């Protein structure tokens, strides 16, 4: 392979775009864990990109990977939460030298879960219990995907 071709294949933009496309394909799988809780495996690619390439490339990968649920009920929140999660985790890892799992956990404990609860309440979940179940879906999915991305990082 020519050196110029190798440079383009290992450029962060190429890697982030490829991760985003793989994440988009993985998100097309309909993996329902419980009655209303779906697993989104595409966030593993955005977290891996954030872990390895940094916060901006992780956010770009997350934007590409999570672009499919625009018509979905959680669409805008899912996209925003996934992009901001990848950026926050990448920032904590690269700028503050945190470990990946605590970075993702702190994001969801401080920012993500309160916003998810507010979004579930505004969206109109019927009971307080269903609001918490709805709000807990994203952090649980994110924690599982961070564990999946960890060995590759």
Q: What is the pLDDT of residue 120?
A: 72
DSSP state of 32: E
Q: pLDDT tens digits, residue range 123-144?
A: 765 555 666 666 677 788 888 8
Q: Which stretch of 42-56, 61-75, 76-90, 102-116 has the lowest confidence by average pLDDT?
A: 61-75
153 vs 145: CA distance, rounded Å = 12
Closest CA to 140 of 49, 36, 23: 36
Torsion of Cα atoms, 104 then 12 then 81 then 21, to 10°: -120
Rounded to two decimals, what is the model's pTM?
0.84
13 vs 54: CA distance, rounded Å = 11
Which residues touch 115 (CB under 8 Å, ≥6 apart)? Answer: 77, 81
């Amino acid at each position: 392979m020519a050196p110029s071709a190798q440079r383009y294949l290992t450029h962060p933009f190429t890697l982030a775009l490829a991760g985003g496309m793989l994440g988009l394909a993985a998100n097309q799988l309909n993996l329902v864990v419980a009655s209303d809780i779906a697993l989104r495996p595409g966030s593993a690619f955005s977290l891996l990109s954030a872990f390895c390439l940094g916060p901006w490339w992780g956010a770009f990968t997350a934007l590409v990977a999570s672009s499919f649920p625009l018509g979905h009920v959680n669409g805008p929140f899912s996209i925003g939460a996934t992009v901001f999660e990848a950026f926050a985790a990448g920032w904590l890892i690269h700028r503050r030298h945190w470990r990946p799992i605590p970075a993702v956990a702190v994001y969801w404990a401080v920012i993500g879960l309160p916003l998810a609860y507010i979004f579930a309440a505004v969206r109109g979940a019927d009971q307080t219990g269903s609001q918490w179940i709805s709000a807990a879906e994203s952090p649980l999915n994110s924690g599982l995907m961070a564990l999946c991305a960890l060995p590759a990082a």
